[in-house]
Amino acid sequence: MNKVKRIGILTGGGDCPGINAVIRAVAKKAILQYGWEVIGIEDGYDGLIRDRHRKLSSNDISGILAVGGTILGASKISNPYRYAIEEGSAVVFKDVSKQAIKNFSKLEIDALVCIGGDGTLGIAHKLFRDGVPLVGVPKTIDNDLKGTDITFGFDSAVAIATEAIDRIHTTAQSHHRIMIIEVMGNRAGWIALYAGVAAKVRDRRKRGKRFSIVVISEGAKPKGGEVMVKRIVEKCADPMRLGGVGFILGEGLERISGIETRTVVLGHLQRGGPPTATDRILATRLGAEAVEMIVRGELGRMTAVQNGRVTTASLEEAASGPRLVPLDHPLIAAARALGTSFGDE
């Protein structure tokens, strides 16, 4: 792209470890290698809608590699195409995209880097079609975005869940209990698959193991049933929040097995704190690639990892629904071979 002078960065949707590492990579490369100015849009698309932003200097991005969350703030409820506005006691949704695009134009930004999950990238796709020059960087602890084999944040969430499972293990063992650990992951079960070890509890008993650990994804459904909805966030374009299926499973297992059972919901712990080394590296590579996409003029797409290589993919694909764990995933076969039960046999 010719004559880029100023770029913007925005972080939308839920936070996750590694976002600051992307902000750092994008801004450092832009400032140091290309001499561009970098504007941070505050609180995701809310900053575009409400015209809130600040210039990011080298000082602002120094020391943030290991810091969780996002220094720019994020928002899950600020979709410019469906913006929730309170009118008396009612919430009405309005299309304020023209306002957001007008605010964007005032900033004289040559390209905007949108860091986010399917919601944020879906909105980015619409904004691009409406004339906003941008590139995307996929993020989510859920690892459920189409178009990329892996998202940063996932490795950190798995590490946190794994540590939690290790800790639960010792107390399960002491008390001869079944311990259920409900992990995040939305409708996809990637975190549960990678962090979890579910065991057939009665078989284990017979073999002299007096405790069991069961990991369940918040989006798991009972056979023939539906996902457990914890709450509806009315103002959010994606309003359903999952949670609680671990308690249902716990009650059922206790009834069937007669073994005392407890359920632990890990929740937002999995999104907090510093990124793992793997996520720092991935986030840095993707941030650097986002800048190169701008240099090449490859706009309207996102960075991606496919077959271990950093590449680009379409934003439309990322927003086209969750990438679920395929039933023939090699890790499932490997875990089954070691005696792990997935509850289906």
Min dist. Cβ of residue 153 to ligand F6P (A)? 8
The CA-based dihedral angle spanning residues 126, 151, 143, 67, taken in that order and rounded to the nearest 10 degrees:
-100
101: tokens are 């695009």
- The alpha helices in the chain, defined as continuous H runs, are 19-28, 45-49, 97-106, 118-129, 154-175, 190-195, 201-206, 245-257, 277-296, 315-318, 330-337
What's the min distance (Å) between Cβ of 16 and ligand F6P? 7
Residue closer to ligand F6P by CB (options 142, 316) is 142
| Nearer residue to ligand F6P within complex by CB, 135 or 192 | 192
In angstroms, what is the minimal distance from the CB of 183 to ligand F6P? Answer: 8
With contacts defined by CB under 6 A, how many residues of the chain interact with ligand F6P? Answer: 13
Residue 143 sits in the site that holds ligand F6P (CB under 6 A): no
> Is 142 annotated as catalytic?
yes
* Interacting residue with ligand F6P among 8, 12, 14, 18 (CB under 6 A): 14
Taking Cα atoms as reference points, which of 71, 74, 50 lies closest to residue 62? 71
Q: Is 333 exposed, middle or buried (0-12, 13-18, 19+ CB in 10 A)?
A: exposed
Report in angstroms how near the CB of residue 139 gets to ligand F6P at its nearest: 9
The 201-240 site mask, x for binding ligand F6P (CB under 6 A), equals: -----------------x----------------------
Residue 186 interacting with ligand F6P (CB under 6 A): yes
Q: Which of residues 110-139 bind ligand F6P (CB under 6 A)?
A: 117
Q: What is the DSSP secondary-structure string of 287-322?
A: HHHHHHHHHHT--SEEEEEETTEEEEEEHHHHTSS-
**Residue 185 binds to ligand F6P (criterion: CB under 6 A):** yes
Q: Are 138 and 117 in contact (CB under 8 A)?
A: yes
How far apart are alpha carbons 317 and 32 in whole angstroms? Answer: 32
Q: Binding of ligand F6P at residue 29 (CB under 6 A)?
A: no
- Reduce the DSSP state of residue 235 to 3 states and report it: coil
Centroid of chain to Cα 9: 17
List the one residue from 9, 39, 141, 195 that touches ligand F6P (CB under 6 A): 141
For residues 269-328, which are near ligand F6P according to CB under 6 A? Answer: 271
Residue 84's contacts (CB-CB under 8 Å, 6 or more residues apart) are: 77, 91, 92, 93, 234, 235, 236
Place of tokens 């996929």: 138
Q: Which stretch binds ligand F6P (CB under 6 A): 81-89, 108-116, 178-186, 329-337?
A: 178-186
Please state the closest distance from residue 14 (CB atom) to ligand F6P, in A: 4
Q: Is 184 in the site for ligand F6P (CB under 6 A)?
A: yes
How far out from the chain centre does Cα 308 lie?
19
Within 8 A by CB and 6+ apart from 112, the residues are 7, 8, 9, 10, 41, 104, 132, 133, 134, 135
Residue 76 makes contact with ligand F6P by CB under 6 A: yes
CB of 218 to ligand F6P, least distance (A): 6
Closer to ligand F6P at the Cβ: 139 or 301? Answer: 139
- Name the catalytic one among 142, 144, 155, 279: 142
Joined together, the tokens standing for residue 6 give 């100023």
CB of 87 to ligand F6P, least distance (A): 23
Active-site residues: which are they? 142
Binding site for ligand F6P (CB under 6 A): 14, 76, 117, 140-142, 184-186, 218, 241-242, 271
